[in-house]
């Protein structure tokens, strides 16, 4: 990356101003050892949620609620976020963040469990937006499930899709990077999806189901 590009990336990541609610959620993430989305991704999620006017959203990987709050802030007041996490302490922190953000309880459905077990129980073609930010080893499965869950016109967003700039380097072949490379290929090859790779954060792969 040229020095100018690096500077522009840092500049863009530094633009969002986050309020007390998000800063507290980030603090809880840190205490729990959860890697929350970057400020640039946080802002992009709110914009995508607002642009899609999604009513039904699935999040895979609640963490301490940073991404959930950002999604909910962009969604219409009637939208419901279903968020899945296998760690009960993370889910508790996410619920606290939703409460701090003044989100009514009936707008969030928090599900404790492994996403690979939970996702097959969710209804086909019923969701407007799916956000993936959990265990990378399972991303290919999550993408497959997301395509099943999404309505036509629904949006898929995959966080960390460039894996700290490792995906673009073919010499790097560790398991996580290889999986994320395969995820990118699978999304681009899927005729049901149109996609774009955004360089926000660690890469945000955005796709729409035709």
Q: Which of 58-66, 144-152, 165-173, 201-209 is the region at the interface with ligand SAM (rule: CB under 6 A)?
A: 58-66
Please tell me whether residue 18 binds ligand SAM under the rule CB under 6 A.
Answer: no
Pick between residue 133 and residue 163 the one whose CB is nearest to ligand SAM. Answer: 133
Nearer to ligand SAM, 138 or 188 (CB): 138
49 binds ligand SAM per the rule CB under 6 A: no
Site string for ligand SAM, 77-116 (x = CB under 6 A): -------xxxx--x-----------------------xx-
Q: Helix 66-74 vs helix 20-32: angle between axes, to the nearest 10 degrees?
A: 150
Give least dist CB 124 to ligand SAM, A: 20
Start-to-end CA distance of the chain, whole Å, equals 33
Determine which residue in the list 98, 119, 133, 206 makes contact with ligand SAM, applying CB under 6 A. Answer: 133
Name which of residues 143 to 202 contact ligand SAM (CB under 6 A): none
The CA distance from 12 to 43, in Å, is 10
Alpha carbon 156 to its chain centroid, in Å, reads: 9
Positive or negative CA dihedral for 77, 86, 35, 64?
positive
Question: Other CB atoms closer than 10 Å to residue 19's CB: what's the count?
Answer: 11
C-alpha 25: how far from chain center: 16
Distance CA 124, CA 145 (A): 9
What are the backbone dihedrals phi and psi of residue 53, each rounded to the nearest 5 degrees, phi first?
Answer: 50, 35
> Using CB under 6 A, which of 63, 74, 154, 201 touches ligand SAM?
63
Footprint of ligand SAM (CB under 6 A):
29, 34-37, 61-67, 84-87, 90, 114-115, 133-135, 138
């Amino acid at each position: 990356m040229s020095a100018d590009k690096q500077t522009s990336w840092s500049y863009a990541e530094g633009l969002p101003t986050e309020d007390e609610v998000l800063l507290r959620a980030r603090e809880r993430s840190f205490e729990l050892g959860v890697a929350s989305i970057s400020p640039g991704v946080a802002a992009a999620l709110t914009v995508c949620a607002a642009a899609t006017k999604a009513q039904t959203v699935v999040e895979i990987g609640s963490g301490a609620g940073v991404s959930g709050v950002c999604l909910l802030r962009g969604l219409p007041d009637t939208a419901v976020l279903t968020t899945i996490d296998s760690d009960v302490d993370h889910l508790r922190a996410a619920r606290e963040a939703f409460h701090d953000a003044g989100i009514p309880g009936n707008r969030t459905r928090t599900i404790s469990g492994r996403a690979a077990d939970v996702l097959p129980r969710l209804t086909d073609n019923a969701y407007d937006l799916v956000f993936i930010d959990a265990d990378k080893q399972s991303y290919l499965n999550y993408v497959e499930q997301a395509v099943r869950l999404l309505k036509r016109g629904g949006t898929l967003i995959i966080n960390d899709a460039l894996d700290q700039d490792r995906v673009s380097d073919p010499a790097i072949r560790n398991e996580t990077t290889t999986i994320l490379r395969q995820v990118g290929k699978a999304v681009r090859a899927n005729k049901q999806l149109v996609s774009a790779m955004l360089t926000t954060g660690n890469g945000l792969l955005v796709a729409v189901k035709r």
